[in-house]
Structure formats: C-alpha cells, structure tokens
Amino acid sequence: MTTTLESQFCTFTVAGLDFGVEVDHVQEVLRHQEMTPVPRSTAAIHGLINLRGQIVTALDLRSRLGLPPREDDVPAMNVIVRNHGEVISLLVDDIGDVIDTGDRSLEPVPGTVPPTIQHAVKGVIALSGSLLLILDPDRAVDVPPATPTPGGTP
Amino acid sequence: MDDDAEIIAEFLVESHENLDQLDRDLVALEQDPGSRELLSSIFRTIHTIKGTSGFLAFGRLEALTHVGENLLSRLRDGEMELSAALTGTLLRMVDTVRALLAVIEESGQDASDQVDVDVVVAELKAALEGEAAPAPQVNAVPESVTAPEPVPTPVLEPAPVPDVVPEPTATPAAEATPTPVAASAPPVVPPAAPAVAAAPAAPAPAVAAAAPAAQVASTAPAVAAAPPAAAPTAPAPTVPARAFEAPQESEVEEHKRSVAESSVRVDVGLLDSLVQLVGELVLTRNQILQRTDTGEDLELGRAAQRLDLVVSELQEGVMATRMQPIGQVWAKMPRIVRDLASQLGREVELQMEGHETELDRSLLEALRDPLTHLVRNSLDHGIQPPAERIAQGRPPKGRLLLQASHESGQVVIEITDDGKGIDPARVAEVAIARGVITADAAARMDPRELVNLVFRPGFSTAEAVTNVSGRGVGMDVVRTNLERIGGTVDIVSKVGQGTTVRVRIPLTLAIIPALVVAHDGERYAIPQSNLVELVKVEGDALERDVEFLAGAPVMRLRGHLLPLVSLTEALATGTGEFRDWRDRAPDASLTVVVVQADDTRFGLCVDDVQDTQEIVVKPIGRLLKGLDLYAGATIMGDGRVALILDVPGLAQHRNLAATAAEETARQAASTDRTALLVMEIASGRRAAMPLVDVSRLEEFDIAQLEHSGAGEVVQYRDGILPLVRLAPAIGLVDTPGERSKVNVIVHELGAHRVGIVIDQVLDVVETELVRSDVGRREGVLGSAVVQDRVTDLVDLAAVVELAGAR
C-alpha cells in the first residue's frame, strides 16, 4: 500500500492535528455550507448539503475521530471526497496547502495514538515542522450505519 | 474482433425483440390458425435469425432455426395445418432459441452443451414427418429419431429458394394477397347481383357482364361464388371472414414499423443522467426566480421568465423520455396466460386494454413481477376449470381482462377475471385459522376488508398447493413490492361472479407531490400519497379530544381513536416532551397531519404546515441507508436540503403495528352504542347515518358544482367527486329553492369517494339504536327514534350505488 501512495496531498487541520488526503481522492474544497441535520443518524453525520443539486452527506471528522467538538462560532470547511462511487463531505477546521511529500516514507501510526484515529489513517509522514496523518478516506467514511456509537469504532 | 462483438450485440438485441414479437404472434396464431399474415411474420423472424446466425457462424442456432423455418414455410404455404401441439413445439423452439441467445450473450459462441438443441430439432423434424405420414404424432417421434435424417433432406432442398430472395417473395406475397381480397371482394358482390337482373332485361349491352352472369346463374349461390372468383389465389375457404381482419393487422404492423423508423436507441444511463441534470436545472431556476422576484432589473426578470418557460418544457420533455407504454408488460402476458392455462387446464380468453398508458421506466420494471403474480392468481384461484364452469351454466372459457389507464396523476391497472370470486367468509376462516387475525377482529370487519386480508403475510387460500401459486407467499409480497414503488393494491370480489384487483401506482417516482411541514427549525416533506388529512386542534377541543392512554397520546377523531406521534419524539430532535402542549398557554394548538401507511393510520404532530409542492426525490447516501425514517431528500426553493419522511418507516419505528392500530381504530365502533350523524333534508325531515361512514364534511359554493353526464360533480382534492342529492335518492322531495352553498358529506369507499348533498348537519349523537322497519324503502334501512324524533336511517350502500360510484 505504501508503494502505491501518491506523493501529493491535500492537507487540512482537525483539532490541531494535521491531516492529508491524496489529491486524487479529493473532488473539491468548499467553504461553510448550509447544512440540514439528519435526526436519529450517527453522531458523526453532521447533516446534508446541496452540492449543485446532488445531496451530499457531511461527516464531522472531529466526531468521527473521537476528538473534542468544534466551537460553535467556527465554521467548518468541506473537503469533498469520492468514496465507493459516492460523494461525501468531510468537515474539517481549516484547509492547508496541497503539498508534495516527495520521497518521504509513510510510517505506521504509533500504538499510543487513540484507536479511533489509528483506524482511520494509513500512516504518518514526518515533515519538517509537522507530522502529517494520512487519512484513508474509505475507512474514515466507514461509519456503522444508523446505530449511534459515539466512539465510532466499527 | 471488436467489430464482431458489436455485431453480435446488435444481433442479440434485435433477436430478443423479434422473439417477443414471435411469442405474441404464435399465441395470436392459435386463435386464428389460418392467418398467413401472422405466419409470414413468424417465418420472417426465424428466417432472419437463421440468416444472421449462419453469417456469424453459430452452427447450432442455425441448425435449429433452419428446421423451424422449414416447418414454418410448410405452414405458411398451407401445406400443413397448425394444431395446439404444433404451436407448443414452435414455442419450445422459440424458448430454445432464447436459451441459445443467452449462451451467446454470455460466452460469445453457441457451442455450449448447456442448451439441448437436438431434442427440439428432433421434435420439429417429427412434426414435419407427422405431416408427411399423417400418423399420430406421439408415435412418430420414436420412429423418426433415426429415420428422418435422409427424408428431410429432399424437403429441405426447396427451402433455399426463399432463402435467396426471401423478402421480395415472402413479404409482398403475404401482405399483398389479403389486401386486394378485401378491396375487391365487396365490390364484386354487389355488381354480381345487378348483373343477374340486368342480363335478361338488356342482353345486348351486357357483353362484358354476360360471361360472369352466366357463370353466376349456373352456380346458384351467387354471393358465395364471387369471392373465390375474384381471388383465386386465396388459400383457404374462409377468406371472406378473414378478409376484414387481415388488412387491419397489416395496418397495425405498418404503423409499428413507421414508429420504429422514427425513433433511435439511446443508452438508459445517458437518459438517467439527463434527467438528473434537468432536475438540477429546475432547482437552479427556482433559486434564480426567487432572487428576481424582488429585483428591479427588468431585463433580468424577463430573462428569468424565459428561463422558467424553457426549463419547464425541457423538464417535461426529458421526463417524457423516461415514460414507456405499459404495452411492454402486456406483451408478455399472452404467452404467460397461454402457458398457465394449459398447465392448469383452464380455458382463458385474454383481453388487454390501454397498451399506450405510459409510466416511468423504472416503475414499469418494478411492476412486471407483481402483475405476473396477480395474473397467475387469477388463473389459478379465480377462473375455474371448464367442466366446473359448464356445471355452473357459464361458458367454459374464462375471461381475463387487463386494463391500464391514467387517473388523476396515477396509473390504474385492473386485473379482472370472471372466476369464482373470493368468499369473505372463507377468507375470514383461513385468516383466523392461520392466526392472521383474531376471530373477534374478523367479526368486526366488513366483507371488503375481509377479502383484502389476503394481502396479509402468511395467508393463502389455495386448498391445494399448486406449482403455480398457493405457497403462502405471494399476495403480501405483491403488496410489499407495489408499496415500495408508492403504489397501492385493493381487491373487489363478488362470489360466483369474479374478482377485480386494482393496482394504483404513481406516474413517476422522480417527482412527487408532497406536503412540507416545519418542525424544530427544519422542513420535512411528507409524500402526498401517505396524506389523509390535516387537523388543527385548539382550545377546548385540545382538552376534550386529546388524551393519554397509559402514557400514549391518542386523539378522538370522528368516533375513532387515532394514535398520535410527535415528530419531535420520533426524530429525537429538541428536548420538548410530548406532554408539553398540555401545559402550554390556553391558546395552544396542535397541528396533526393524519397519515396512512399500509393499514396503519396515525396522527403526526408537527409545529407548522407550510404548503404542498412538487418535489424532486433525491437518494440519500449510503451512510444513511440504514435509517428507515427517511425516504430520501429533496432540495427546496431556497437551495437547502429537506428530508422526505418515510411514513411506513415512522409507523414501524413507533411500534404502530397494523393490527394494533386496527384494534384501537375500531374500538369506538364495537360498542353497542352507535355514533350517528344526524342531518336535515327535504324541508326539515331528519335522516341519520353511521358516523364511521363519514370521511369529511365539506361545504361547496354552488358555483363550484359542475355536470358530468346526468349527474352533478365537484372538483375535490385532485379528483372529481360525484354528488348525489340525498332527498330524491331516498324518495323525498328536495328542499325547494337554490342556496348559495351546499353541504356535502364525503363518503369514502376504498379509492372511491361520493359526496352526499344534504341541507345541513344537525348533530352527532351516540345512541343505542333500535331500528324499526317503519319507513323502509329504497335507500332507507328503516327508522329509529333519535333524540326523541323519528329519523330515517340511510342505506348508504344503496345511495352510493345511485351515484354510480362503482
């Protein structure tokens, strides 16, 4: 898996952590969108947005990764990723640059990192100045349907 | 190689279409064994497949169709007579061809052993043989297994002749001959008679007429002789009778062909994406229109208006591309009915109406299985075997009628048989025995409700489990499948006369009318198909009508108890307890949306009702699939997303099982006191009817009344409500003088509504009813003392009949 990894990543921050997703997975990045909540859905599902006529489910990465909730006055950004032929919005705190990690290698996530995060990422790339967690969009989106399990460990 | 694959794909598509036509033709041929028209069409189809399969080197397919073609050419040329056994053989050949095509589709060649061609080839050859030596066919089969090989060869020799020039000879010959017959036969007959009369009177000028006249004179029945003389090439003696049918058929065929020429094949995926794009465009237009409503920019306003027009038309056009005629489903039916009838030993005449009725392609697909199942049921449980029918003094041939039509934005499909009907008592017995309902509940049901019990899970009345139906799965699955596409199904049956199953489905699933409600700051859409009515309860009524039954809120609605569900609670939004509104200020009110799912009716309490609009249904993502509370989502005019509530899902979620609701709903009716609606008619006379039969009370402006036929009607909801004036209907004189408003009692019977016009409603009373036969007459069951006054008890069934509601 490490060998097939692209070296270009779209980066963003969630609760002070730096994350990256391979650019190929990302369709677009949007500012804050009007959101329709979906009652009785998993806590991580923040709502539905209208993306040019398509209904897109928005997943709150903080909730999904077991991180503390976002403060109310901070609008979330949408990272729109494609997953199993479907389009999903990942809600993040802030968008960073697209960076090229070159030939830096992907290292496994230390076991001391909370399991909710471990499960959703492919590994860590150590950059000069920061540690970039590489998100696995498939697993990050893989929320058990309907039954609200706050931790989100499937 | 790719070219080959493409050619094969085209060949497959074409052949499948042709085979469908073939099925229909063969069954039609059985009804009309001499039709050269049909035989030629069948021959052409098989010939085409044979030719192409030879070209594409599908040896086995070619061998099979080759023999079939020989048999067909014999039949077409009148050298053989078509029998039921022969039709069976031909149908089996069609099936084998189909199986081979499936194999080709899968593997690209037909060499697979999966399909046994030889048996059918042998059967076809035997049939050819059977004609040569008119021995019983059954005996001929074993003999001919080895023998026929050399014999058919000479027979086959002539076949290549039509091969070389098949279209010019076969086609025009078949189409041309019947037409001239039809054209020339009638003129020949009338002139012949005058000729006979003219001959003796003026022999000189009748030179031309003389010869035929002499002939006619010698052969006494002039009229009978004329047609053969005019059409010596006509193959069978039954020409005059058929002459009028044949051109019709060829006309139909010509018509079809021209339709085919004016259409193109389009990939379904492309159409779907177009529909989606148009949906997006519609939403964008809505957003633009909202902005321009207030703007002062005239130019922009005008442009927006044009956009509005164009988009509306575009939407209509694109939606139309999804529409397909139900004839596609009908087309399969003759074959299904034929096979079933012979399997079950029934004689059935199938009639189909409304081929051109169109509905959404996806719905058509979903409709196929339930309809097939219903047809099977009609044949198996409805239409009796011929002997039984004759014993009952009815024609041995049963009738099965399939009808499709559009009715107020829905497609209505009726499957009617003239079989033995469904006995409500028998249904009740079985339902109780199988534990579907309790005896108590059954006793309280009317016959129609009892008959509709067959849709309950685990129910089957078949005394013998047959290969066709009666395995206890079925009708409930039919209903589930139909409900999945937003449809309903309902049975009307008369014992000994037959059964009608009525299926209603929406025209399209992509755009539905829905009621938009506001709740906890969000909007939700409730499909109109689930909607029964809206009730606002306030003031005293809130105190009086809404109660708690062991903590569960219920409402008294016209004598029934309606379970209430708070949307807040169902969706777990907000913190509001349901009890809240009881403690609210005195001006508190409760908005109840009465909804219906399956047999469950309940009231959904919402904050506010907004309006009804057409919404575009969009799927919600995989992540939310597990939630049965929502049927999808839609985008509102302001661009925000609103969820569409799934009413059956809500009911299930709130544990409102069908039986439970029924029990509660019927409690009021089961007491020995009856709730009566007392009304005034005919200048102060009193009449009453059970409150349970009253769906609504309406007041219409006199100007709203319109006429349809002899009766009065009024537009109501999205349909036409037939009206019947109660006074004349029960033998009284209507109150003289016109008033500006009419009071109408709306009575609903299944899908039908009738409006009963009265002077005014006096009261609703709950009373112990002691009926007397005094005053009994048509439309009146008798009379009773209600509120110390003699009151006529209306026989609703008789009055409804008068309205011609059924």
Q: What percent of chain B has pLDDT over 90?
A: 3
pLDDT of A18 reads 92
pTM score, two decimals?
0.46
Between CA B548 and CA B553 the distance in angstroms is: 4
Q: Would the pLDDT of B444 be above 50?
A: yes
Write phi, then psi, for A127 (nearest 5 degrees): -100, 165
pLDDT at B706: 85
pLDDT single digits (tens) B358-377:
888 878 888 888 888 888 88
Beta strands in B421-559 (DSSP E): 488-494, 498-506, 511-519, 522-527, 531-538, 546-549, 552-557
**pLDDT tier at B739 (50, 70, 90 boundaries)?**
confident
* pLDDT at A80 > cutoff 90: yes
Q: How confident is the model over B506-538, as pLDDT tens digits?
A: 776 666 778 999 888 889 999 888 888 898 887
> What six digits make up the tokens of B507?
């025209």
Output B199 or B673, whichever has higher pLDDT: B673
Show which residues on chain B lie within 8 Å of chain A, measured between beta carbons: 276, 279-280, 283-284, 522, 571-573, 618-627, 629-630, 633, 635, 639-643
Q: How far is B508 from chain A, CA to nearest CA, in Å?
A: 19
Interface A:B, Cβ pairs < 8 A: 80
Give the confidence band of B248 by pLDDT, cuts at 50, 70, 90.
very low
Q: Does B627 sit within 8 Å of A145, measured CB to CB?
A: yes
- Range B670-686 average pLDDT: 73
The answer to whether residues B47 and B71 touch, using CB atoms and an 8 Å cutoff, is no
Q: Mean pLDDT check: name the lowest of A109-113, B261-265, B559-563.
A: B261-265
Q: Where residue B296 falls among pLDDT bands split at 50, 70, 90?
A: confident
- Flag if A145 and B624 touch (Cβ within 8 Å): yes
Give the separation between CA A21 and CA A96, rounded to whole angstroms: 11
Which secondary-structure segment (H or E) carries A120?
A: helix A115-120
Per CB-CB distance under 8 Å, the chain A contacts of B571 are: 39-40
Considering only residues B785 and B659, tell me which one the structure prediction assigns the higher pLDDT: B785
More confident call, B257 vs B425: B425
Give tens-digit pLDDT for B530-554.
Answer: 888 898 887 777 777 888 777 778 8
State whether B641 and A40 contact (CB < 8 Å).
no
Judge: A55–B635 Cβ closer than 8 Å, yes or no: yes
Pick from A59-68, B693-702, B738-747 the range whose average pLDDT is largest. Answer: A59-68
> Do B642 and A36 lie within an 8 Å CB cutoff?
yes
Q: Which string of DSSP letters, residue by residue, matches B349-369?
A: EEEEE-TT-EEEHHHHHHHHH
**In chain A, which residues have their Cβ closer than 8 Å to the Cβ of B283?**
50, 53
| DSSP state letter for B693 | G
Q: Give the residue numbers in A contacting B (CB under 8 Å), as ranges.
A: 34, 36-42, 45, 47-50, 52-57, 59, 84, 86, 88, 141, 143, 145-147
Check CB contact under 8 Å for B573 and A48: no
Residue in chain B closest to A48 (alpha carbons) equals B641
Instruction: Search chain B and give the residue with CA nearest A147.
Output: B626
Please state, in angstroms and rounded to a whole number, the distance separating the CA atoms of residues B615 and B515: 9
Find the CB nearest B618 among A39, A55, A143.
A55
Residues of B in contact with A91 (CB under 8 A): none
The pLDDT of residue B482: 82
| Set of chain B residues whose Cβ sits within 8 Å of the Cβ of A40 | 571-572, 627, 629
Nearest to A120 by CA among A103, A100, A134, A136: A136
Answer whether B621 sits within 8 Å of A50, measured CB to CB.
Answer: no
Do B63 and B117 meet the contact criterion of CB atoms below 8 Å apart? yes
The residues near B541 (Cβ < 8 Å, ≥ 6 apart) are none
Chain A residues whose beta carbon lies within 8 Å of the beta carbon of residue B641:
36, 47-50, 55
